[in-house]
Amino acid sequence: MNVAPKRGLTLLLAGLAMFGPFAIDTMFPAFPAIAAEFKADEFQLQQTLSIYLIALAVMSLLHGPLSDALGRRPVVIGGVALFTLASIGCALTWSIESLWAFRALQGMCAGAGWIVARAIMRDLYDGPQVQRLMSNVSMLFTVAPALAPMIGGWVLLMGHWRWIFWFLALWGGLLLVASIWRLPESHPPEKRIALRPRALIGGYVEMLLDRQFWPLAIAGTMNFSALFLYISSAPAFVVDLLKLGPQQFGWLFVPAVSGMFLGALLSSRLAGHLSVPRTVGTGYLIMLAASAVNIGTALWLPQPQLPWSVLPIGLHAIGISLSFPSLTLLLLDRFPLHRGGASSLQAFVSLVFNAVLAGLVAVVLSGSALYLALGAATLTLIGFVAWRVYRVQTRPQAAVT
């Protein structure tokens, strides 16, 4: 189905896609202040990220199916409203344990915007049109985890660390008003499916047994995880390795933001001119080249230095963002009757892996620039192998068409 988009729809969808990832790491610059107030150690602070991601992952399995059964608008509006209340709870928290609880509540509802927005885009558009829209949204969505610590640092400079969560509450409130006012219902009643546990489980089993689901899900997950390894290690990378202050997270995130923006812009421009497989392949060429440069730089500079230690990260981000919309569309189109569920399952796989990455792997690797570079390269290589498996699986189909 193709309809004329409401004015500002792209911006609204981008905002909805952003607010969950944006809340992941806005609080990073406040870690020292939170640790001092609650007498928390590094492991306890890192769990504010892992708990958020686990809650986001678990609930992501329900957001999509709920939107398939109830419609897109109710799920998005309810999720944004609860996220706003959870952010207020984080701002009023009284201990590290209560902060964990409110972060879990944030994570439980944050996926409503991120996951359902992708289903809305695919409901409304197809072909190059949806690739352009998803790429345009990705230009804003993919910068959220990278831009968030910079904004958190600026807010922290103006006042108490709790102001960061008041900022997130304000962001959620604005999105809530905008969603009520402008968000269309793209999934009409006649296309909805009954919300029955057996049907829900059966749909997920069908996806999990689909031979092309896993290569696409692994490729998309590993690509972004290569960058997320640096995002989740940002406090150690910026402060301990680069020897910078809480307001200088931009030295890591500006290259990442710029690269992701450029990659999404390039994906939008290539839509309709370059095939989806070639677009993804070009993204992998960039990612693999950036991985090699990153490892070489870490070997050349045992003590990370600006700007050389961050430029390969920006180059890597171009490849990630270039391939992301195409990989997502390929996966959603595998399950046209369950796009919300497919989006949920894809998000679940990615979030569970990134929760483990942030809570365990990043803690081990973040003490060395070389370890981080090798870790990111390994993730990229796994994603590339998964993509090649998918290409082998679909080669006979491509030859027929």
> Tokens at residue 71, please?
């419609």
Mean local confidence (pLDDT), 173-194 = 78
Domains, the chain, in order of start with CATH, read: 9-400 (1.20.1250.20)
Residue-wise over 317-341: b if at least 16 C-beta within 10 A, else e? bbbbbbbbbbbbbbbbebbeebbbb
SS3 of residue 82 by DSSP: helix
Is residue 387's pLDDT more than 90?
A: yes
Residue type, 220: G
Q: Give the pLDDT confidence score for residue 3 in this predicted structure.
A: 47
State the pLDDT confidence band at 286, using cuts at 50, 70 and 90.
Answer: very high
Instruction: Label residue 197 left, alpha or beta by phi (over 0 means left) and psi (-120 to 50 means alpha).
Output: alpha
219 vs 274: CA distance, rounded Å: 20
> Tokens at residue 291, please?
């991985």
Is residue 364's pLDDT more than 80?
A: yes
The 10 Å Cβ neighbour count of residue 292 is: 13
- State percent of the chain over pLDDT 70: 87
User: 101-104, long-range: CB within 8 Å, 24+ apart, which pairs?
Assistant: 103/48, 103/51, 103/52, 103/55, 104/51, 104/52, 104/54, 104/55
Burial class of residue 32 in the structure, from the number of CB atoms within 10 Å of its CB (0-12 exposed, 13-18 middle, 19+ buried): middle
Q: Which tens digits make up the pLDDT trace of 80-127?
A: 999 999 999 999 999 999 999 999 999 888 878 777 777 777 777 666
Question: Is this model's pTM higher than 0.75 or not?
Answer: no
401 vs 397: CA distance, rounded Å: 6
State the pLDDT confidence band at 399, using cuts at 50, 70 and 90.
Answer: very low
Q: Give the pLDDT confidence score for residue 103 in this predicted structure.
A: 93
SS (H, E, C) 21-59: HHHHHCCHHHHHHHHHHHCCCHHHHHHHHHHHHHHHHHH
Mean local confidence (pLDDT), 314-325 = 89
383 vs 138: CA distance, rounded Å: 19
Query: E-assigned strands of 91-179?
Result: none
State the pLDDT confidence band at 396, using cuts at 50, 70 and 90.
Answer: low
240 vs 164: CA distance, rounded Å: 23
325 vs 279: CA distance, rounded Å: 10
- State percent of the chain over pLDDT 90: 22
Q: Which tens digits make up the pLDDT trace of 200-219?
A: 777 778 888 888 889 999 99
State the pLDDT confidence band at 389, using cuts at 50, 70 and 90.
Answer: very high
Mean local confidence (pLDDT), 249-260 = 81
Q: ∠ CA 378-31-111 to the nearest 5 degrees?
A: 65
102 vs 165: CA distance, rounded Å: 11
State the pLDDT confidence band at 141, using cuts at 50, 70 and 90.
Answer: low
Pick the range with the lowest mean pLDDT from 51-55, 161-165, 242-246, 313-317: 242-246
* For the chain, counts of helices (H) and of strands (E): 17, 0
The 10 Å Cβ neighbour count of residue 9 is: 18
CA within 13 Å, CB half, 330: 24
- The residues near 213 (Cβ < 8 Å, ≥ 6 apart) are 207, 331, 334, 345
Mean local confidence (pLDDT), 286-308 = 91
132 vs 291: CA distance, rounded Å: 27
18 Cα distance to chain centroid: 8
**Contact yes or no for 325/134 (Cβ under 8 A):** yes
248 vs 228: CA distance, rounded Å: 18
Residue type, 100: W
Mean local confidence (pLDDT), 323-348 = 79
Q: Which ranges in 243-275 belong to alpha helices (H)?
A: 250-270
Q: Give the pLDDT confidence score for residue 85 in this predicted structure.
A: 94
Is residue 143's pLDDT more than 70?
A: no
